[in-house]
Structure 1
Amino acid sequence: MIAPTKGIAPQRSLLVIGAQTLQVLDRPMTISQTWTRLREWRASNGHHAPVPFWWFVLSLDVLYALSVVELDRELLTRRRADAAPAGG
């Protein structure tokens, strides 16, 4: 589920969806803006396996758990590599 397996194609694994999300997240965006940009990016780059919205949200959960993204005032942003962890 998180990583590709026999049952989960690489282009549908949560890590790959998360990496693709990071590619389109070049500025702070709402969740819906990010979802739209991700779908456009996938279509233009030949990734035709369907990814439902809830799967996209799970990939955001993985990115958040890895401290790669944060949500601030309804805007999703990349965390800087040198940023202190949240809550600490």
Structure 2
Amino acid sequence: MILPTKGISADRSLLAVGESIVATLEQPKSITEAWEDFQADWQARSIRERLTFDWFVLAMSMLYALGLVDYTADGRIRRAHAAPPA
């Protein structure tokens, strides 16, 4: 699921979907805006398989668990900023 398997193609793995999500997060967005931008990007890449909202949410949860996205005070999603080196 996170990585491609026999049943999940490489572009549908959660890592690939997460990469697409992060690529669309140039500025903080609501979940709806992030979903709509992701869908537009997904269709622009001519990926034939439709991706459901629950798969999008799974990828978003994985990104949050990995510390790659976080939330602003008003509840918008944004790319997480890397901590400065010590």
* Pairwise same-fold verdict (TM > 0.5): yes
- SS of residue paired to 2:20: helix
CA RMSD of aligned residues (A): 1.1
SS at match of 2:82: coil
| Structure 2 residue 50 is the aligned partner of structure 1 residue 45 | no
Partner of 1:11: 11
Shift of 1:69: 0.3
Indicate the residue corresponding to 2:78 in structure 1.
Answer: 77
**8 Å Cα contact 1:10/1:16 also seen in 2:** yes
**Counterpart secondary structure, 1:17:** helix
CA shift at 1:48, angstroms? 2.1
Give yes or no for contact 1:24–1:37 (8 Å, CA) kept in 2: yes
Instruction: Give the whole-Å Cα distance in 1 for the aligned partners of 2:53 and 2:28.
Output: 19
Identity of aligned residues (%): 34
Shift of 1:78: 0.4
Gaps of 5+ in 1: 84-88
Following superposition, which runs of at least 4 residues in structure 1 exceed 3 angstroms of deviation?
A: none
Question: TM-score scaled by structure 2?
Answer: 0.91
Write the mapping of 1:25-64 to structure 2, written as runs, cut at 5 A: 25-64=25-64
| TM-score (norm. length: structure 1) | 0.89
Q: Which amino acid aligns with 1:75?
A: R
Structure 1: how far apart are the matches of 2:61 and 2:26?
18
